[in-house]
Amino acid sequence: MKKQIIVFLLTYGLILIFLFSFSSFKNEKSYNGNSDIPNTIESKVDSILSLMYLNEKIGQLVQYSGGWDATGPSSSKGDQHKLDKLKKGEVGSMLNVSSVSAIRETQKLVMEHSRLKIPLIFGYDVIHGYKTIFPIPLGETASWDLDIIEQSASIAAKETAASGINWTFAPMIDVSRDARWGRIMEGAGEDPYLNSVVGVARINGFQGNDLSDIHTIAACAKHFAGYGFSEAGRDYNTVSIGEYELHNTILPPFKAAAEAGVATFMNSFNDIDGIPATGHKLLQRDILKNEWDWDGFVVSDWGSIGEMIAHGYAEDKKHASEIAMNAGSDMDMESYAYEAHLESLLKEDKISIAQIDEAVKRILRIKFELGLFDDPYKYCNEDREASEVYTKEHLAIARDVAKKSIVLLKNENKILPLSKKLKSIAVIGPLANDKNSPLGNWRAKATYNSAVSVFEGIKNAIDNNTVVHYAKGINLTIPTVEEGSNQFLHPLKFNTTDRTGIDEAVEIAKKSEMVVLAIGEDAYQTGEGRSQTNIGFFGLQNELLEAVYKVNKNIVIVLMNGRPMDLSRVSEIAPAILECWHLGSESGNAIADVLFGDYNPSGKLPVSFPHHVGQEPLYYNQKNTGRPYSATHVTFSGYRDAPKSALYPFGFGLSYTTFDYNKLELSKNDISKDGELKVSVNVTNTGDRDGEEVVQLYIRDLVGSLVRPIKELKGFKKLMLKAGETKTVTFVINSKTLEFYTANKKWEVEPGEFNVWVGGDSNATLKGSFKVSSN
């Protein structure tokens, strides 16, 4: 008995000494391996690990979804299980616990009851804003403005942190080439380079320069890997790609994220060539953790460890836990697999304690970097929650981001910008006065119906001398849940029979000088689980368009959507089309800024828009076949009933002014494999308005050890040009520009001939060439 007391006192004495020692390490960063500064965070992590029992270690690898009253009685057996585990210190993270008060109470369960008092990290899906909502990521990428993309993520982080949350499951950096896939709205489109630089901008915005800063949160690069290549554009579906496609197309954005210091990765639902990503050792252990030397932690996607059973890759959750742990998946999100089976797997030598310890260390490291050990309640301040969320300043920036994300696709006879002196405007369409759809799918804590509608934005922009008529025309959807409730888990039902409002729309179109027709997609047509075989206009929208067009040809289409759509008929008849995506809180005001010329549109498409859904997946950087397309011969690669090319190509976007490219010059025509050259071009604003242009650089490696794409984006610069002004734009091409994962199974530059283009979209024709020599 005496011996037990002595052991007890010694153990708790060590714990107290260790806990008191935390204060001396405030704000110190982890050791990067290249400094003489003591690795203080690593030493603290090791100290905690040495004190932990196995159940507490396994607990750090467990993440639960919350959303209950932590202080009140348990509402279910499942809730009671979570509460008990929290009090024992057997939970590492919670998601979907939001608000300062709820997070404080949940954190208290751990800090006041558990043995070691290791704080929780709280996660939430903050995808394009927290309360202030920015454009959906695909739309925001259309700005091609890395500074404002970083700024919007920074504001999202500030609001999120002010609400008690310190980890977001963003950015999604899956290269996505299929418009049928609903989650295309959540990423940066079809190009690896654009996904890389946009992903890094978002990571920098979320995480800032210091994770311990109270206004920053941990980011999560997802989905690792291949999710955007799901067969047939069907969510959660299998992915069939080769090794070289994986390395050259899918992995570059993730490598860029790892190099940028992203705190966490999330694995993906899909399998790759028969191996579920959650259980993919090559991806998680070999490439991410070892080859890239990344020191954050990997969280599974929701239930994806357990889903390996449905894949037919695991017999049961115990087997799934074994596979996932051996593969390098550190934290189990909502599978309840690790907590149930890791201990027995350890006893059976199917996993090792070294693997568990490594996973725990990775999670503890991020918690230290966030400053949670210094103050577990550092994010729990009601004053900040009240003063730093949904501010006028944030809304003003949201408007700026939104207007820069709009893409002008067509402007026949310069119908845009509209005059503010028009006598009458008809604002028509099921989305014209919709205050909810602009919030998009992943709207975090946005207030239902809080966005500025197109109708409101137009009214705000003009004076009382212009008569603004409004008619909804049709209802796009039929309500399936109570208005204002969460539509996320409910399928949409579209109106295909009620035409009673079309006559009213036709009447106001007849008596108006100009028609603004807002059509497209409901916010919940895109996002997770929202795959479609039809990427056209659902419901009665085509009938409404045709009816209005018959009586008034002066139509401006305001397109609100989350994916590339089939615009073939719209493009044929409408003189003007604005691609407006789902633009967030200030949507209507931003759209009005562009409609009336207060802002000259500068957006460019991050995805190709097809002539027909049958072209999907469609992307600009295809490979040539042995029989490239011929319009005059049958047995060549193409379609007999549609063009092979896009209706609106990657990188495309018009302006209210025009730009001319000339004098393409290369500083050298021959460089070594480790050499560099400069490409310069003169860009002139040839119109009568000031405007911004995104100058894009593309290359082609003409012959390689692998078939190379016909064009690849390798750089871009966005610049403002005054009317009549010329600027010289210069790009540097070096080994990083030219290297790829070759047939030698390594990244290298191969000698040979290269073409280079500079222009305003992926169809750029201003061309040069150079040679890379082997020496």
Residues with a catalytic annotation lie at 301
The Cα 307–Cα 677 span in angstroms is 50
One-letter identity of residue 394: H
Neighbouring residues of 445: CB distance < 8 A, sequence distance ≥ 6: 98, 130, 131, 163
Omega before 417 within 30 of 0, i.e. cis: yes
The Cα 126–Cα 219 span in angstroms is 10
Q: 263, 287, 279: which is closest to 364 by C-alpha?
A: 263
Contacts of residues 385-388 at CB distance under 8 Å and 24 or more positions apart, as own/partner, are 385/99, 385/100, 385/162, 385/163, 385/164, 387/162, 388/158, 388/159, 388/162
What DSSP string runs through 167-217?
A: EE---B------TTSGGGGGS--S-HHHHHHHHHHHHHHHHTT-TTSTT--
Instruction: Give Cα 279 to chain centroid, integer Å.
Output: 23
The Cα 683–Cα 680 span in angstroms is 10
The CA-CA-CA angle for residues 648, 652, 655, to 5°, reads 120
Contact 318, 340 (CB under 8 A): yes
Q: How far apart are the first and last CA of the chain?
A: 78
Contact 189, 445 (CB under 8 A): no
What DSSP string runs through 518-584?
A: EEE--GGGSSTT---S--S--TTHHHHHHHHHHH---EEEEEE-SS----HHHHHH-SEEEE-----
The Cα 192–Cα 701 span in angstroms is 16
| Burial class, 132, CB count within 10 angstroms (exposed 0-12 / middle 13-18 / buried 19+) | buried
Contact 752, 673 (CB under 8 A): no
Contact 202, 151 (CB under 8 A): no
DSSP code of 218? B
Side-chain half-sphere exposure of 232, counting CA atoms within 13 A: 8
Contact 171, 205 (CB under 8 A): no
Structure tokens at 562: 């989350």
Instruction: Give Cα 143 to chain centroid, integer Å.
Output: 14
Omega before 564 within 30 of 0, i.e. cis: no
Contact 421, 466 (CB under 8 A): yes
Which residues are bridge partners to 514 per DSSP? 425
The Cα 558–Cα 703 span in angstroms is 43
**Radius of gyration of the chain from its Cα atoms, rounded to whole angstroms:** 27
Q: 670, 658, 696: which is closest to 772 by C-alpha?
A: 670
